A and B are shown apart, each in its own frame.
Chain A
Amino acid sequence: MKLKFISDETLMDLRTNYDAYKENYYKKNHHWFDEYFKVEGRGIESSISFEMPIMNLDEDYSVSDKENVKVVYEALKHLTVSQATQERLWSGLAHLQFRDFAFYRLKNELQSGNDIRINTAMFFKNGNKRSLFVHILARLWWVGYMTYDESNRENPYWLTDFFCEKDFSARSVVFFSSNFTSNPNITKGILKSIIKLQNKGISIKRDHFVQANKYLNVVGGAMILDMLTTDEVENMIDKYLAKYYGIEVEQPV
């Protein structure tokens, strides 16, 4: 099938008139949405083909988020990054082809009428970049894109599995709001280093990601980190985190 998106005017209408429409979100009123998008020009079929993925709807989001990162990225891997930054695409999908998923993922928010979260989940309300990691659909694709490791043929999603293990929402925002993680070498270097800590039996918390980013921010002021290989970044982070957390590292003999 073809990927659907919404026109700029429709996007503005849904955003501006949310208060008038919100009851339909609360009541998961598919009929109302179907009628709304029947109006010519509101929902637009793109030229992009895709196969609708089967979304995981587990009661436990820590299970479903991880699986859904993989199925959404797998189904939409062929989007260009420029396409994947567009609100009218992700907002369109959340209202159209992925509406069931949106209602599932926002179950509690819809019940309690948490308008702020419903808005940030369905639209881009947090600035262009941050929104990519806050919007309930866009973030699945973007975390997939950022953590997909092509060099691991057996399991290109091994970094994704680790990253999505727990604390998915907060981790995504904290980790990818840094400019450095835009560079895949740096992202992989950090993740590999933190995975090593976990393998040593250390329970990974949000702080581990924060510290790695903070450190790169300081070092990045005096050098171009983007010149470094994944291994070099990994080594730097290894040393820094070991020192910061006072972790014993085996000395080479």
Chain B
Amino acid sequence: MKISSAYPYPVLYMNNDDYIDSIFSTGIEVAESFGEVKINAHFQLDNNGVKELIQQQKAVFLIHVECGQTSFRQVYESFHDSLEISIPSSNLRGKIQIHSFIIAKDRITDYTNNSLSDWYKGFPITFEKGNFIGIGEAIETTLFEDNAELLNLPSIITVSKSQKKEFMEVDLNSNNITIALPEYEYNQYAGNANSRLKNTILSAVFMPALVYIFSKIKDSQGDFEEYTWYQVLDKIFDENNHKLEDVGSDTFSALKAAQMVLRKPLKTSFEEIEKLNHAEE
């Protein structure tokens, strides 16, 4: 997004002097973890008149995210001084631009502000919806292509059929983890794993298995370290700025870790179900 330095109305912006003794500044942090890009923005605003507009919800803090390559372009709004955004990494690729603004939420007429520079004194000022009231910092960041994205990750979990068992079981004591399913369940899994309910089926099988695996790690870490599956998981967590050995602690439960590795499986499952229900209506 190109930012102009001159507007037909006053803008609170570090690169002009439309306002005196006033500040609008945004701290923006970006982190990528388990298939999501997380953006944290903190807004610092030092101007009572603009603060009031935001309190009255006539103006709003706004983060604009744009990725030219994937044609992603979206705004996120907040009336508070911080904003947390998460975007699936699959929506973004290459360069991403993040801008911060204060924007008129609706038409604002007869605008005045005690800190306006003399130049604007005595003029009637009007903001249309979408006009800039303040412009804050912007950052550019680059997401590198995930090479494994088009392929399955090195498979460390095998699903197999067990002839006699009645319940799902998970075997951790070899290089690959095996999930053993009873015969009927296995046949359903194998036959429908590519259907419209693919993610739902995957999470029904993998979610409890992973919770089980992660609940075991804390106690038997030493025994597991030699196995390939442990090393692969260790690497996956490391690449996503987490530690596998923390899993099972109070702050990082097995349940949460499983959902992170499967990238919010409940959400994708319910989305599938919602789509299917809509299609049948």
In whole angstroms, how far apart are the Cα atoms of A183 and B1 in the complex?
13
Contact A44 B151 (CB under 8 A): yes
In whole angstroms, how far apart are the Cα atoms of A86 and B151 in the complex?
14
Residues of A within 8 A of B66 (CB): 179, 182
Contact A227 B72 (CB under 8 A): no
Contact A49 B194 (CB under 8 A): yes
Contact B73 A80 (CB under 8 A): no
Contact B149 A83 (CB under 8 A): yes
CB distance from B273 to the nearest CB of A (A): 16
Q: Does B27 contact A (CB under 8 A)?
A: no
Contact B89 A82 (CB under 8 A): yes
Residues of B within 8 A of A132 (CB): 71
Contact A85 B70 (CB under 8 A): yes
Given A5-B150, A83-B150, A182-B71, A224 contacting B7 (CB threshold 8 A):
no
Chain B residues 67-121 with CB under 8 Å of chain A are: 68-75, 77, 88-94, 101, 103
Contact B70 A226 (CB under 8 A): no
In whole angstroms, how far apart are the Cα atoms of A121 and B72 in the complex?
24
Contact B75 A129 (CB under 8 A): no
Pick from A82, A89, A132 the residue with the most CB of B within 10 Å.
A82
- The digit string for A46-58, where 1 denotes a CB below 8 A from any CB of B, is 1111000000000
- The digit string for B1-31, where 1 denotes a CB below 8 A from any CB of A, is 1101001100000000000000000000000
Q: Does A225 contact B (CB under 8 A)?
A: yes
The residue in chain B whose Cβ has the minimal distance to the Cβ of A48 is B150
Chain A residues 72-115 with CB under 8 Å of chain B are: 80-86, 89
Contact B151 A82 (CB under 8 A): no
Residues of A within 8 A of B7 (CB): 222
Residues of A within 8 A of B2 (CB): 221
A182 CB contact (under 8 Å) in B62, B73, B94, B151:
B73
Contact B151 A47 (CB under 8 A): yes
In whole angstroms, how far apart are the Cα atoms of A57 and B84 in the complex?
48
In whole angstroms, how far apart are the Cα atoms of A125 and B167 in the complex?
55
In whole angstroms, how far apart are the Cα atoms of A143 and B132 in the complex?
32
- The digit string for B114-134, where 1 denotes a CB below 8 A from any CB of A, is 000000000000001111100
Residues of B within 8 A of A39 (CB): none
Residues of A within 8 A of B149 (CB): 82-83
Q: Does B38 contact A (CB under 8 A)?
A: no
Q: Does B218 contact A (CB under 8 A)?
A: no
Chain A residues 117-149 with CB under 8 Å of chain B are: 128-129, 132, 142, 146
Chain B residues 125-170 with CB under 8 Å of chain A are: 128-132, 145, 149-152
Q: Does B64 contact A (CB under 8 A)?
A: yes
Contact A228 B91 (CB under 8 A): no
Contact A85 B69 (CB under 8 A): yes
Q: Does A223 contact B (CB under 8 A)?
A: yes
Contact A179 B91 (CB under 8 A): no
**Known contacts A84-B70, A224-B75; 6 further A-B pairs (Cβ under 8 A):** A44-B150, A49-B194, A81-B90, A83-B150, A181-B71, A224-B132
